Structure 1
């Protein structure tokens, strides 16, 4: 299934919304974004892995992923679902305090005012399709209505599912990805054969262990590019690469850009948004 909202964000938009329904539509592998994702499940049941935690999402519940949080979703075989997904950048948030709350970790929660929140999401989707001279500001204000309503009226409801050995391994990777990690050492650490570990990890995350570690390292590097002035070489060492050449190659394979190009684009976006006040779409 093509992520049209993601394609819209790739084109430089600061907000994008999309409704999708399907059956047996499971993500190919864990991934992350440079922006927030608010996922509202209109019907059905879905499982979401956020970093090293597995959640079960039921109809009428939301999950919100901060930037750079590894995640993917899947459902039980034959169970249909319908969802609304909303992507938005930090710069689209009007109140700094809201950013601080949303940026802490992935949330799963159910709004006491879910009908109103759902109506605002539908209004945002309609406004995106309308797209006239006032749509940019309208999207900005509807988004902030949604966020304030959620924080004012919502409580976290979904608890993490029971931790398995694979979720323990994922937690270990999140805690230790800056250090050298080999398959044999990881298998020995958790008393598994390398073959079994690779098979079960792939089944659970739709990603190989090497791909998962590389995505963790690159995601953290992207955040450091946004938040610090450290050099590419310094950041490559911080996130666990032994040499900058390997870092450049992996970074490009994950993001499609070189580290220097990625940093330049981030600074250009930031400067453009400062000039315009309200982020442009």
Structure 2
């Protein structure tokens, strides 16, 4: 599974490519007899479009399964190995200049519309026929392929990121009394702790701990209003291990102490 964080790293690499620098190093069709099955890497951006058959590809930290209409890409220096040879693959290797490189970065997408296949075929045609302006046409087609990949990952990363983030918020809201750690939050989103902070800043303008504390304070306010529990008992029930820390956070969020809040809520009732 490609995580939101991985998707953004792929995007960082793709969007850092200098489109004017694109130059075709090679364009070739491979079959079961000509496919390189040894582990190898290139100093170019390698893009392979699967026309027939399937292939299992071994990378440093994972394996991926590719089939007809799949596009698989490897950034410069990404080691890979085809375990199962395909029947027909069209592969282009692009010399590029870029600013951002992720160690071992590879990517895969399904060409549902057939547009990417058409672009590959056009590059193959121009490369084979060497007509006037072929180099420029090839660069334009290659740029369009990269832009389609960028569109795919921007859409995928935004959707999956929002979905998992709101799942996390739902979990925090309904389990705020538990001992929720940053590690657990990051695990739910399948991201690192540093990226977790970045996501919270983007969507809430605050930190994970601030959001967790607000959820706990909202729960504590309900307890103070609806029960006769002591301030200390409420603090523990809301997930705070220290009643003094609870009182300090409560006042930061509500501008009132827990006891004042409880007294005022009783007056309203």
TM-score bracket for this pair, using the shorter chain length? 0.3 to 0.5
Larger radius of gyration: 2
- Provide TM-score, normalisation by structure 1: 0.42
